[in-house]
Amino acid sequence: MSAPRPAGQPLVEVRDLVKHYAAERGWFGLGRPRPPVRAVDGVSFAIGGGSTLGLVGESGSGKTTVGRTMLRLQEATSGRVFFEGSDVFALDSGRLRALRRRMQIVFQDPYSSLNPRMTVGETLREPLKIHHLSGEVSSLLEEVGLDPAFAKRYPHELSGGQRQRVGIARALSVEPRFVVCDEPVSALDVSVQAQVLNLLADLQSRRRLTYLFIAHDLAVVRHIADTVAVMYLGKIVERAPAAEIYALPRHPYTRALLSAVPEPDPRATKRRIVLSGDIPSPAHPPPGCPFHPRCPHPKKSERCRTEVPPLREVPPQSGHLAACHYAEQPM
C-alpha cells in the first residue's frame, strides 16, 4: 500500500485535458485537411481517495475518451493527469507499467471486452503473470460472485452479466486503487444492472477503491457517485456534490437530463424538458456556449451565441460549478 496521503489531497487529478482526433488525411498526409474532432476540450476534475466521481453525458460527449486518455490508453493532445501525486503523462514505459497496476478500467461492452480465444482462467492469469502477483484465479472469481469452475469456460459460454463480472475480476487482479468504470452496466439487462452496481459498490467499500464512474444518464450514478460531473460536447458543463446536483441543478442541460430521470416519488410532479435537435458534431462545435442551439433556457440571449461561459462557482453552495451565463436564473 502507498504512503498515507495528506487529507484533502485528491488521489486523481485531471487538469485541462484535451483530446482532438485529427481527421484522416490519407496518403502520406496529402489531401484536404479537415477540422479535428474535439472529443475532449479542456476537462478538469479531481477525485478524492475512496470516493466516486460520476461522469454523465449523452453519447459522443467524450466520456470514454476522458477515461482512456487518463489511463494513457490513448495519447492526450494536451493537459495533465496526476495520480498519487505523479504526473501520469510524463512517465517512462517502466514507470508506466508499474502505474498500470494502480489504475484499471472496466469496459462497457461485455462481448468485446474478453478475448474469445482465452478461457476465463487464462484471462485472469495473464495480469497476475505480467506483474508477478500471487493472487489466485479462484478467489478473484469468488470475489465477484462467480463459481471458481468458471475458470475453464470460454466467454461465449457466459451471459452478459457473468462476462462483466469477469471483466471486473480482471481489473481487480492487479489490486488497483483507481478504476475507471466506463458504463459498466449500460449493455446489461435491467434485472442484472442492479446486481452489478451493487457488486461495484461492495468492492469499493471492501477494497477502498476510487471510481471514475461513467454513465449516460443521471439515474445510474445517483446511488454510487459522491460528485457528479455532466459533460456536453467535450466540456464539463456542471459539477457538484451528488446531493446538490439532483436537488438543485444549475445548468439547463443538467436540468433536461434530470427531467428524463423517473422520479422515485410518484406524487412529485415535474415538467419534462425535451431537448430539440441532436448533439452537434464535435468537429464543428457551435460558437459561444456549446449548448446554446438546443438550450431551452428562457433567458437565452445573444451573449450565449458569442461568449463561451466559463465553468464557475454558482452560489450559494461552494463547490457547485456550472458553465452557464444564466445559471442563477430559474428556468
Partner 1 sequence: MTLGTWFALLVAIILAAEAVRAVRHRAFGSERWRRFFRHPTAAWGVGILAFLVIVAVAAPLIAPFDPDRQLDIIGLKNHPPSWTFLLGTDVLSRDVWSRIVYGARVSLGIGGLGALVAVSVGSLVGAVAGYYRRWVDAVLMRTVDIGLALPRIFILLMAVALWDRLPFWVLVLAIGLTSWFGTGRLVRAEVLSLRERDYVLAARALGAGAGGVIFRHVLPNAAAPVIVSAALGVGNVLLLEASLSFLGIGIRPPTPSWGNMIADGAPSVYTAPWTTVAAGLAISLVVMSLNAVADGLRDALDPHEEGGAT
Ligand X SMILES: Nc1ncnc2c1ncn2[C@@H]1O[C@H](COP(=O)(O)OP(=O)(O)OP(=O)(O)O)[C@@H](O)[C@H]1O
Q: What percent helix, strand, coil does the chain show, rounded to 5? A: 30, 20, 50
207 is a contact residue toward partner 1 (CB under 8 A): no
- Looking at beta carbons only, is 158 or 187 nearer to ligand X? 187
Phi first, then psi, for residue 241 (nearest 5°) are -55, 145
Q: Which region holds residue 241: left if phi is over 0, alpha if psi is between -120 and 50, else beta?
A: beta
- Looking at beta carbons only, is 91 or 261 nearer to partner 1? 91
Least Å distance, CB 287 to ligand X, is 18
- How many whole angstroms from its chain centre is CA 51? 13
Which residue in 12, 17, 52, 61 binds ligand X (CB under 6 A)? 61
- Looking at beta carbons only, is 174 or 261 nearer to partner 1? 174
Yes or no: say if 139 and 167 are a contact pair by the CB < 8 Å rule. no
- Looking at beta carbons only, is 64 or 259 nearer to Mg ion? 64
59 is a contact residue toward ligand X (CB under 6 A): yes
117 is a contact residue toward partner 1 (CB under 8 A): yes
Which residue in 9, 31, 73, 152 binds partner 1 (CB under 8 A)? 73
Which residue in 49, 54, 60, 252 binds ligand X (CB under 6 A)? 60
210 is a contact residue toward ligand X (CB under 6 A): no
Site size toward partner 1 (CB under 8 A) is 35
Binding mask 152-181 toward partner 1 (x if CB under 8 A, else -) reads --xxxxxx-------x--x--xx-------
CB burial of 93-116 (b: ≥16 within 10 Å; e: otherwise) equals: eeeeeebbbbbbbbbbebeebbee
Cα 19 to Cα 26: distance, rounded to the nearest angstrom: 21
65 is a contact residue toward ligand X (CB under 6 A): yes
Quick one: what does residue 57 bind among Mg ion, ligand X, partner 1, none, with the CB cut-off 5 to 8 Å set by partner type?
ligand X
List of residues contacting Mg ion (CB under 5 A): 64
Residues 6+ apart with CB under 8 A from 136: none
Q: How is residue 45 annotated by DSSP?
A: E
Through-space distance between the first and last CA atoms of the chain, rounded to whole angstroms: 48
> The C-alpha cell of 324 is what?
452557464
Which residue in 163, 165, 177, 216 binds ligand X (CB under 6 A)? 216
Cα 200 to Cα 273: distance, rounded to the nearest angstrom: 31
Chain positions contacting ligand X, by CB under 6 A: 21, 37, 39, 57, 59-65, 216, 282
Chain positions contacting partner 1, by CB under 8 A: 28, 68, 71, 73, 97, 100-101, 103-105, 107-109, 111-118, 126-127, 130-131, 154-159, 167, 170, 173-174
